[in-house]
Amino acid sequence: MIKPDIRIMKAAIEIAEENGTPFGAVLAMGDEIFITAANQTKKLHDPTAHAELLAIRKLSSSLKKTELSGFSLYTTCEPCPMCMSAAIWSGIDLVIYGCSIPEISKYMPQIDLQSSEVANRSFRKINIEKDFMADECLRLLDKFA
């Protein structure tokens, strides 16, 4: 399994900070960053404009394909069921997140279904690395939630 990269998670944290949100995401292959995105739900008036979905959409559009095997998704907060499902459908191999849904729930309402539960019921194997740089990611919730 790929070892999580601090530099890539820092990029997710930076894009979140730049956009005034606790939610940032990066799609990377190995140590190469391909796409960054931050939540845009309020700006776009779109409840589905989560950082993870925007990153997947941008990369799929850029590559002109929907199969993203070989990519890792770094996200400051654990993907919600919608975002985790999108990661599975797109074939992403690895999801690396900072703070968990139970932690996020202390700041704002969440659907209480963790990414591992979604993955365990999937037709596709997807690896999950949790709590990576969790303290840094929690600071985003303290600042922006």
Residue 1 — very low, low, confident or very high, per pLDDT cuts 50/70/90? low
Contact present, 93 and 72 (Cβ < 8 Å): yes
Whole-prediction pTM: 0.97
Q: Which of 2, 12, 3, 7 is nearest to 78 (CA)?
A: 12
Average pLDDT of every residue of the chain: 97
The pLDDT > 70 percentage for the chain reads 99
Cβ-proximal residues to 121 (8 Å cutoff; 6+ apart), any chain? none
Predicted confidence (pLDDT) per residue in 10-62, tens digit: 999 999 999 999 999 999 999 999 999 999 999 999 999 999 999 999 999 99
Residues with catalytic annotation? Answer: 52
- Summarize the confidence of residues 129-143 as an average pLDDT: 97
